[in-house]
Structure 1
């Protein structure tokens, strides 16, 4: 018992000593700063050297795809391909039986399908419904089979798992570090922010296992991976991003100055003459002095417990809509009272006077109005990315980070394309879905090469239309050396391509006449010859060449290729399998 009391007393002595040291440091810091009620000199803004897309980006952006590939580079594609193919071969046995290596065309098509899921707002929709023959989107099965999409998603990796434990000992982000560093280094090369830059945090939704998963009750998703971001306040272009991997191993000093370190890191390389807007987690007097050394100013909210603050404007009570100012030669501090017994503190190195909006009924100070105009750069990026996010359900946090990389890259590409093509932006200015149209064109451009490569694979009529849009050559007569069919009129060609009888309209959905009645499967498809209703599980798809052979008497060959149960059921009207395929009436 005596030993336990001695330990408690020792802890109390240590706590008392630590508190006394902190108070001495605060007094020492307060003694270095002299606050005054007299305004200083108003800062003069100098002209920016450049803003907007850089010359490097302007010379290489020609369309939506080229803008996206400037951010999702060939080096990143090789990182994903090498590690994904290694994981696919490993997970399918020692010889990789059952796994086909991905190439650049298939990887881009996979990324394009992810982006298209965001266009269709299908984040919570099962992949089976996207590939469904009746209710899904034709572009998905036309690009790759559902099983292949599942296989690629399962094998998706961004590092070598054999060497990961050694790297993970010193880097929590080892599973995606190589890809992240390559991507984040590209962001500042393509865009110069304007005069206003916002620094804030982004939360990537994730609820699985992750050593640095964060809980933020103020965010809509609450759980996820925290990312520090510096964005242009006007366009919300993500200029720099950094993943927060938890408490630093060096000790409490890093934790105490985390806000200062983050702002200095994400603004490294930012040209002078700009202003940084941040909230009270980051803002401090020391940060203001450090940014001024880089020719950068700061405007931000401030905690009331900062040791460098004077007592008289902070703790004195004022009437509503009143402002109290304090000045140093380089910093302006304002305490504003929005309502009785409440106040907010703001610090600025961009303002040197006590300007107040006297024409407003609330008489807000100019510093607060400036902060409100530029504080939402990162929050706006998060909102825009979430609107058309390509995120899919996953249990692996590296995959969640990869999805966020694709989302931010697609948005940054949209900003580049919009600013480099003002005439295009003006034509879409009145449309609220301008970004959706951009993402749709980008997704189709990414999947088009694989759709063309799969031109010979039998597909449903709706998938054939997707292939036609991708300039797929579906002429099979020459390859099979069949007699060419007579030349038809354009109306007849369109009618034959869609397999819809002339003058017919889309019929209401009725029960499939091949499936058992107890299943009650509704369909709008019918046999082109006998008009029997057949669902997507019961019909047989023919290419034009095989359809021509069937019409010429190749019914016996068709019967040999049919499943036994289908051969027994046959056609409801002819008591034999119908060789004409099926179509939508």
Structure 2
């Protein structure tokens, strides 16, 4: 492994400082990569949709549709329905109304089938044909560059391997019997030991040259150096797969402390081997088992004599920081949005959504420590709100609502809540209409319109307008009120005319009756 000297070292230092400041690849703001990533997925998906479908059946996908699709995936993971068919989620009787309120099942299937991340016809350009990750390479690289720009991993970092469950056809599919999902895509992960924030990831695609028979040398050394690039004065914890004295020497030169495990004597006994570079301890936790640990951050051997098992401080630090990646696997499996698919790029895209949602939750929890303290379902509530924020714009844009009453009621509630959030703030004290007389109390409406029927014009004078009700309903109430008042005036006018006619005809009838009474033939 060559050490960086001179110009190479200064260039690496500048690059790492830009990544720590969130300026990866010359971008000053991290959200620039998000817009490019969305645009890349939309262009590839619309290109594939225009190839498979005709112009009449394919409607181009936009940002609102993509975000709503991702929001439904997050919501399905929040409901823990990764093994449930999409038909049951959209079922009118046993499904959930929010899925049908957002988009139809036909659209969801169409987006799932046509979801793409590159142009497969241009993979041979630029040497991309030899890249096994070419189907999702650009999206994967842009997403991985964004991860370290948003979070500081702290003093303790864990490096380990994890697997994305997948059993379809893939040239670099891995089998790991010790993992919960034995078959899948292998990833190298560096995360914070305490919160399991995924700080950097790297996909393992096996040997790049299929004809090569020799394995890659110093694979563990290369992986750890790639994942810890830009980190200084940290303690990196990894398992026995990454153990090597050469790695300890390189990390010591980079000001990084290494703590690794290497697999009989008396139980609870410890032996130390010291050198100028590292410290090696041999500990016996039980009969017939010996644990070896190598560290470059513990120059002096220390044993906690107050514990019954008399474990060295080196082993206690290892047990405290070793489970970062394993805990990440655990929390991602709890609310995973993965769906049944035969395409490995889609499975990797589902993993991107899961990791991004969890990282967003970690950032939100640390920036808002007062948010729901002591609640055990905080992550579930966060995912629910995240999915709702993603698919609400599509519900607001949707023109034709489903006929089912629960779905229609849900869409109306979402639209009314959004209207309330965007409506102007009213004054705390309710004020009277300036045009209404003091004795008239029925000319003011709280939510829609405040108007007055003036005596001079007979027309409603609009004083203020609120947007928390729909415009159609507001106009309808206004017209009905106007019509009822005019009908009331019309009936009063007819009634007055009838009374005046009766009073005018009363003397005539009396005179005629008198003449008939006095007349005698």
Q: Aligning the two structures, in what range does the TM-score lie when normalised by the shorter sequence?
A: 0.7 to 0.9
Would the aligned equivalents of 1:89 and 1:97 in 2 still touch at CA under 8 Å? no
Question: 1:470-489 maps to which residues of 2 (within 5 A)?
Answer: 470-471=414-415, 475=470, 477=472
Which residue of 44, 53, 59 maps to 1:83?
A: 44
Deviation sequence 1:385-409 (CA, Å, 0-9, x none): 1111100000000000000000000
Question: What does residue 233 of structure 1 align with?
Answer: 193
Would the aligned equivalents of 2:68 and 2:394 in 1 still touch at CA under 8 Å? yes
1:292 aligns with 2:252: yes
Alignment partner of 1:289: what SS?
Answer: helix
Which residue of 242, 245, 253 maps to 1:282?
A: 242
Question: What does residue 160 of structure 1 align with?
Answer: 119
Question: 1:138-177 maps to which residues of 2 (within 5 A)?
Answer: 138-165=97-124, 167-177=127-137
1:419 aligns with 2:366: yes
Question: What does residue 358 of structure 1 align with?
Answer: 305
The alpha-carbon deviation at position 226 of structure 1 amounts to 0.4
Would the aligned equivalents of 2:281 and 2:292 in 1 still touch at CA under 8 Å? yes
Cα distance between partner residues in 2 of 1:385 and 1:71: 26
The alpha-carbon deviation at position 470 of structure 1 amounts to 2.7
1:211 aligns with 2:155: no
Alignment partner of 1:417: what SS?
Answer: helix
Q: CA RMSD in A?
A: 2.6
Which residue of 303, 310, 319 maps to 2:266?
A: 319
Question: What does residue 334 of structure 1 align with?
Answer: 281
Question: What does residue 407 of structure 2 align with?
Answer: 463
Deviation sequence 1:98-152 (CA, Å, 0-9, x none): 1000000111000000000011111011111111112111111111000000000
Would the aligned equivalents of 1:71 and 1:187 in 2 still touch at CA under 8 Å? no
What TM-score do you get using the length of structure 1 for normalisation?
0.66
Question: What does residue 424 of structure 2 align with?
Answer: none
Cα distance between partner residues in 1 of 2:40 and 2:129: 21
1:433 aligns with 2:382: no
Deviation sequence 1:429-473 (CA, Å, 0-9, x none): 321110000000000000000000014434422223332343257
Alignment partner of 2:318: what SS?
Answer: helix
Would the aligned equivalents of 2:130 and 2:208 in 1 still touch at CA under 8 Å? no
Cα distance between partner residues in 2 of 1:137 and 1:422: 32
Cα distance between partner residues in 1 of 2:83 and 2:237: 34
Cα distance between partner residues in 1 of 2:212 and 2:296: 31
The alpha-carbon deviation at position 75 of structure 1 amounts to 1.0
Would the aligned equivalents of 1:71 and 1:186 in 2 still touch at CA under 8 Å? no
Cα distance between partner residues in 1 of 2:20 and 2:223: 25
Query: For the structure 1 residues 281 and 252, does the alpha-carbon distance in structure 2 shift closer, same or farther, using more than 3 Å as the test?
Result: farther
1:113 aligns with 2:72: yes
Query: For the structure 1 residues 478 and 369, does the alpha-carbon distance in structure 2 shift closer, same or farther, using more than 3 Å as the test?
Result: closer
Alignment partner of 1:110: what SS?
Answer: helix
Cα distance between partner residues in 1 of 2:256 and 2:234: 5
Which residue of 361, 384, 387 maps to 1:443?
A: 387
The alpha-carbon deviation at position 359 of structure 1 amounts to 1.4
The alpha-carbon deviation at position 255 of structure 1 amounts to 2.2
Deviation sequence 1:148-202 (CA, Å, 0-9, x none): 0000000000000112355553210000000000000000100111110000011
What TM-score do you get using the length of structure 2 for normalisation?
0.74
Cα distance between partner residues in 1 of 2:166 and 2:475: 52
Query: For the structure 1 residues 248 and 162, does the alpha-carbon distance in structure 2 shift closer, same or farther, using more than 3 Å as the test?
Result: closer
Question: 1:470-549 maps to which residues of 2 (within 5 A)?
Answer: 470-471=414-415, 475=470, 477=472
The alpha-carbon deviation at position 357 of structure 1 amounts to 1.7
Cα distance between partner residues in 2 of 1:480 and 1:162: 55
The alpha-carbon deviation at position 247 of structure 1 amounts to 2.3
Would the aligned equivalents of 1:193 and 1:239 in 2 still touch at CA under 8 Å? yes
Deviation sequence 1:524-579 (CA, Å, 0-9, x none): xxxxxxxxxxxxxxxxxxxxxxxxxxxxxxxxxxxxxxxxxxxxxxxxxxxxxxxx
Q: Higher mean Cα deviation, 236-245 or 334-343? A: 334-343
Cα distance between partner residues in 1 of 2:170 and 2:398: 39
Query: For the structure 1 residues 137 and 320, does the alpha-carbon distance in structure 2 shift closer, same or farther, using more than 3 Å as the test?
Result: same
Would the aligned equivalents of 1:240 and 1:266 in 2 still touch at CA under 8 Å? yes
Alignment partner of 2:393: what SS?
Answer: helix
Would the aligned equivalents of 1:201 and 1:226 in 2 still touch at CA under 8 Å? yes
Cα distance between partner residues in 2 of 1:201 and 1:156: 27
Which residue of 57, 71, 92 maps to 1:98?
A: 57
Query: For the structure 1 residues 455 and 92, does the alpha-carbon distance in structure 2 shift closer, same or farther, using more than 3 Å as the test?
Result: closer
Cα distance between partner residues in 2 of 1:71 and 1:330: 43
The alpha-carbon deviation at position 257 of structure 1 amounts to 1.0
Unaligned residue ranges in structure 2 (runs of 5+): 1-18, 24-28, 420-468, 483-521
Question: What does residue 398 of structure 1 align with?
Answer: 345
Asked which structure has the greater RCO (Cα within 8 Å, sep 6+), the reply is 1
Alignment partner of 1:423: what SS?
Answer: coil
Question: What does residue 526 of structure 1 align with?
Answer: none
